[in-house]
Amino acid sequence: MKRYYIIYEGRVQGVGFRGRIMSLARKYDLTGYVKNLRNGKVVCEVQGEKTDEFLKESLEEYYYIRISNYSLKNIDIIEDETQFKLRF
The residue from 11, 20, 26, 36 that is catalytic is 36
Residue of 18, 20, 39, 66 marked catalytic: 18
Distance in angstroms (rounded) separating the CA atoms of residues 19 and 65: 11
Whether the Cβ atoms of residue 2 and residue 47 lie closer than 8 Å to each other: yes
Residues 40, 44: Cα–Cα separation, whole Å: 13
Would you call 18 a catalytic residue per the annotation? yes
Residue-wise over 20-40: b if at least 16 C-beta within 10 A, else e? bbbebbeebebbbbbebeeee
**Among all residues, which ones are annotated catalytic?**
18, 36
